[in-house]
Amino acid sequence: MIEAVVFDLDGLLLDSEHIWDEVREQLVGERGGRWHDRAQQDMMGMSAPEWSSYMHDRLGVPEPPEAINDEVVRRLEDRYREHLPLLPGAVEAVERLAGRWPLGLASSSNRPVIELALDLAELADHFQVTVSSEEVAGGKPAPDVYLEAAKRLRVDPGACAAVEDSHNGILSARSAGMCVVAVPNERFPPRPEALRQADRVIDSLDELTVGLVSDACG
């Protein structure tokens, strides 16, 4: 029996993965670093300490990771204030499920970015807890961020449904022992081996209903 639902943010509720990439790639270029084709895939799901260290160590940005993190977040927040890239059906899906279960959010975004996005979308009141992977030991695909969300919700992970879009996110939620509903991101689709770990795969957030979650997760 499902007692709570935990959402991802980037790529699921927000069409934002490419914005993170644009901001990071621009900073790498400005600072004389070396962007490469695998950078986006490598950083997807990483926590803020992980990706800022990656940008310093692997992409050659000379500033310390803490300064890299702060500058990326500042630029991303500016983009969100200009236009929040909500995906179709995101608000409605959250509202539907919030009417039935307590909701959590488990995101690789930084805490200030999560709070800004939910405030701009007017969704903050629907989430009882939010967790950033910078607040736990390991980013996705490690299960830490989902386990922490369940802990804060005071619900066993096995009684939670996770809604995810990405390869690492699906693996993270599954490793935490949660039922997983996958809504594959069109820009950065999860690989087949991750999709096979999902309990249900749907094409859009319009399909994410109370009935579907109950049927998929028992």
Task: Summarize pLDDT for 104-160 with one digit per residue, the tens.
Answer: 999 999 999 999 999 999 999 999 999 999 999 999 999 999 999 999 999 999 999
Residue 165 appears among annotated catalytic residues: no
Topology of domain 4-15+85-217 in CATH is Rossmann fold (3.40.50)
Residue ranges of the domains in the chain?
4-15+85-217, 17-82
Sequence-ordered alpha helix ranges (H) in the chain: 17-30, 39-43, 48-57, 65-82, 90-98, 111-121, 144-153, 167-175, 192-195, 210-217
pLDDT tens digit sequence for 189-201: 999 999 999 999 9
CA atoms within 13 A on the CB side of 66: 0
Of 8, 15, 144, 199, which is the active-site residue?
8
Cβ atoms within 10 Å of 115's Cβ, excluding its own: 14
Over residues 17-31, mean pLDDT = 96
CA-CA distance, 134 to 97, in Å (whole number)? 26
CA-CA distance, 150 to 103, in Å (whole number)? 10
Residue 70 appears among annotated catalytic residues: no
Topology of domain 17-82 in CATH is DNA polymerase; domain 1 (1.10.150)
Of 10, 21, 165, 199, which is the active-site residue?
10
Judge whether residue 89 has pLDDT over 90.
yes
Instruction: Tell me the whole-structure pTM to 2 decimals.
Output: 0.93
